[in-house]
Amino acid sequence: MTSSEALSPINAGQGPRPSLSDPSPATSAPILEASSLVAGWKHGKTETRLLQDVNLTLPSGRFVALVGPNGAGKSTLLRTLVGMQASLAGTVKLRGAPVSSLSVEDRARMAACVFTDRFDSGFFTVFDIVSFGRYPYTDARNRLTERDREIVGDAIRETGLAGFESRRFAELSDGEKQKALTARAVAQDAPLLVLDEPTAFLDAPARIEVFHLASRLARSRDKAVIVSTHDVDLALRHADELWVLDRGHAFASGAPESMALSGALGRAFDGPVVRFDPATGAFRAPGEPAPFAVGISGEDPVALGWTFRLAERLGCVIEPEDGRYDAVIRVIGAGIERAWELERAGRVTRIATIEELSEGLGRLVAVARERSEPS
């Protein structure tokens, strides 16, 4: 395949891509392919091989999240995949064309990136920033055509920033900035979209919005989307696929659920204190369990769930297999009528709020811990 064939469908603009209605040979190739890839740096004659033997394939319409602890090589992998850093061995192909054979301009039409780099946006408006995405297509004087303006407008609407066009970029919130930068990448109209830690500076709802947007762009625009992130729980919930790098720089990929079940996430993140809990898909610092076992029962699943979380937070052993409980907690009623019963040594105490339960149970656990400690 020649690179011109590979590039042909790029100017198709938004809407369903030709690959959906008319699968030509050029578009049936995966957007991104890496085989036996070795990534790292070269300083003079010394090579630092950070990632070895990475094999991956990314078709269009798929949203993958790249996770791994700091220093595992996420950024290095991303830079190498989009051709901004030369690979030490192996190949990376964008739509079937080796990335090393593509010019900077060709690469810009193949892969659009959002970095964490901060910059002084001066007087640039949201529209100005998003139109930076049209650079690979504009003439030497960088004039936007009507078509360019349409594409920029579409990208702004797609990312939920309609009405923000003439606002100064510098005046946006961090979440809005992230959307505008994503819109810029969308306006670049490349089949591959790479977002490097887009959730880094955002509050919780804005983080979820980023994942939601990434997943929507993969579907509505049939893009291949890579998001590197530290928000493993969000990645597990939203991504179609997970790429996991561990501290030893080993690469694993698969469905998010499979990465949790197979222990790949645990291998990547588990440390002496914090562990990945495959049951809940979250990170936990379990600590030493207290010598205090509780049984928990009740009807209302939500209240039951939070009562479990409470006991867990206090360090209780929950529902031990031998069935010997130091206390039993029952959730009774629902809504305004909801209450808790704490049964200990045959005595039942009725407790009205979960705060009081937290205090009471906390005291019991503390006493148990003190008693068990060798004095």
> Minimum distance from CB of 217 to another protein (Å)?
17
In angstroms, give the least distance from the CB of 116 to another protein.
10
Among 44, 119, 337, 346, binds another protein (CB under 8 A): 119
Pairwise CA distance, residues 32 & 110, whole Å: 10
Between vectors from CA 78 to CA 129 and to CA 206, what angle results, nearest 5°? 50
DSSP result, 108-138:
HHHEEEE-------TT-BHHHHHHGGGTTTS
Q: Least distance (Å) from another protein to the CB of residue 151?
A: 14
Does 112 participate in binding another protein (rule CB under 8 A)?
Answer: yes
Judged by CB, which is closer to another protein: 168, or 237?
168
Smallest Cα–Cα separation from 165: which of 193, 131, 122?
A: 131
Q: Which stretch binds another protein (CB under 8 A): 26-34, 54-62, 132-140, 271-279?
A: 132-140
- 193-232 binders of another protein (CB under 8 A): none
Q: Least distance in Å: CB of 166 to another protein?
A: 4
41 binds another protein, rule: CB under 8 A: no
Q: How far is the CB of 103 from another protein (least distance, A)?
A: 8
Measured distance CA(149)–CA(139) in Å, rounded = 14
**Residue 15 Ramachandran class (φ > 0 left, ψ -120 to 50 alpha, else beta):** left
Separation CA 166–CA 267 (nearest Å): 47
Binding of residue 238 to another protein (CB under 8 A): no
Shortest Cβ 200–another protein spacing (Å)? 15
Which residue, chain included where needed, has tokens 């078509």?
147
Q: How many residues form the binding site for another protein (CB under 8 A)?
A: 37
Which among 131-139, 263-271, 339-347, 356-364 is the span making contact with another protein, rule CB under 8 A? Answer: 131-139
Toward another protein, which CB reaches closer, 136 or 320? 136
- Is the Cβ of residue 82 or residue 235 nearer to another protein in the bound state? 82
Q: How far is CA 12 from CA 25, 77, 147, 158, in A?
A: 16, 29, 11, 17
Considering only residues 53, 105, 203, 355, which one is a binding residue for another protein as defined by CB under 8 A? Answer: 105
Q: How far apart are CA 112 and CA 224, in angstroms?
A: 11
Q: Which stretch binds another protein (CB under 8 A): 14-22, 43-51, 162-170, 350-358?
A: 162-170
- Locus of tokens 């790429």: 243
Which of 46, 70, 166, 375: binder of another protein (CB under 8 A)? 166
Beta strands 192-196 and 111-114 are: parallel
Buried b (16+ CB within 10 A) or exposed e, 13-49: ebeebebeeeeeebbebbbbbbeebbbbeeeeeeeee
Among 43, 45, 141, 347, binds another protein (CB under 8 A): 141
SS3 51: strand
Residue 85 in contact with another protein, rule: CB under 8 A? no
| Contact criterion met (CB below 8 Å) for 320 and 293 | yes
Q: How far is the CB of 144 from another protein (least distance, A)?
A: 11
* Phi, psi for 53 (deg, rounded to 5): 55, 55
x/- contact string, 171-190, with another protein (CB under 8 A)? -----------------x--
Q: Under the criterion CB under 8 A, does residue 136 sit at the interface with another protein?
A: yes
Nearest residue to 160 (alpha-carbon basis) of 225, 213, 200 = 213
**224-228/241-245 β-pairing:** unpaired
Could you say which of 62, 107, 179, 207 contacts another protein (CB under 8 A)? 107
Beta-strand (E) ranges in 163-316? 192-196, 224-228, 241-245, 251-254, 275-277, 282-284, 293-298
Residue 367 interacts with another protein (CB under 8 A)? no
- Closer residue to another protein (CB): 226 or 264: 226
Position 113 contacts another protein (CB under 8 A):
yes
- Please say which residue, 45 or 141, places its beta carbon nearer to another protein: 141
**Contact residues: another protein, CB under 8 A:** 82, 84, 104-105, 107-109, 111-113, 115, 117, 119-125, 127-128, 132-133, 135-136, 138, 140-142, 162-163, 165-168, 170, 188
